Copies of this chain bind each other. A is one copy, B any other.
Amino acid sequence: MTFPVVGMVGGGQLARMTHEAGIPLGIRFKLLSDTPQDSAAQVVGDVVVGDYRDLDTLRDFARGCDVITFDHEHVPTEHLRALEADGIPVRPGPDALVHAQDKGVMRAKLDAIGVPCPRHRIVSDPQDVAAFAAEGDGFPVVLKTVRGGYDGKGVWVVDSVEEAAEPFRAGVPVLAEEKVDFVRELAANVVRSPHGQAVAYPVVESRQVDGVCDTVVAPAPGLDEALALRAEEMALNIAKELGVVGHLAVELFQTRDGRILVNELAMRPHNSGHWSMDGAVTSQFANHVRAVLDLPLGDPRPRAKWTVMVNVLGGDYPDMYSAYLHCMARDPQLKIHMYGKDVKPGRKVGHVNTYGDDLDDVLERARHAAGYLRGTITE
Contact = CB atoms under 8 A, between A and B. Distances in A.
A229 interface: no
Interface string A113-146: 0000000000000000000000000000000000
A321 B4 contact: yes
A222 to B, nearest CB: 25
Contact of A2 (B1, B281, B321): B321
B328 A296 contact: yes
A321 B350 CA distance: 32
Given A23-B16, A319-B2, A325 B296 contact: yes
Interface string A259-302: 00000000000000000010001100000001000011111000
A299 B332 contact: yes
A350 B16 contact: no
Contact of A23 (B20, B45, B303): B20
Given A44-B45, A328-B296, A333-B298, A340 B26 contact: yes
A243 to B, nearest CB: 22
Contacts of A16: 23
Interface in A1-43: 1-4, 16-17, 19-20, 23-26, 28-29, 41-43
Contacts of A55: none
Contacts of A340: 1, 3, 26, 28
A73 to B, nearest CB: 24
Given A2-B321, A332-B282, A338 B26 contact: yes
A253 interface: no
A322 interface: yes
Contacts of A339: 26
Contacts of A4: 321
Contacts of A320: 2, 26
Contacts of A295: 324-325, 328
A336 interface: yes
A318 B2 CA distance: 8
B329 A296 contact: yes
Interface string A299-322: 100010000000000000011111
Given A44-B45, A45-B42, A333-B281, A25 B338 contact: yes
A361 B303 CA distance: 18
14 contacts: A1-B340, A2-B319, A3-B338, A3-B340, A16-B23, A24-B335, A26-B320, A26-B336, A42-B45, A43-B45, A45-B45, A45-B47, A296-B324, A296-B328
Interface of A: 1-4, 16-17, 19-20, 23-26, 28-29, 41-45, 47, 277, 281-282, 290, 295-299, 303, 318-322, 324-325, 328-329, 332-340, 342, 350
Given A4-B321, A24-B337, A299-B333, 17 more contacts: A1-B318, A1-B340, A2-B318, A3-B321, A17-B23, A25-B338, A26-B338, A26-B339, A28-B340, A29-B43, A45-B47, A282-B332, A282-B333, A295-B325, A298-B328, A298-B332, A298-B333
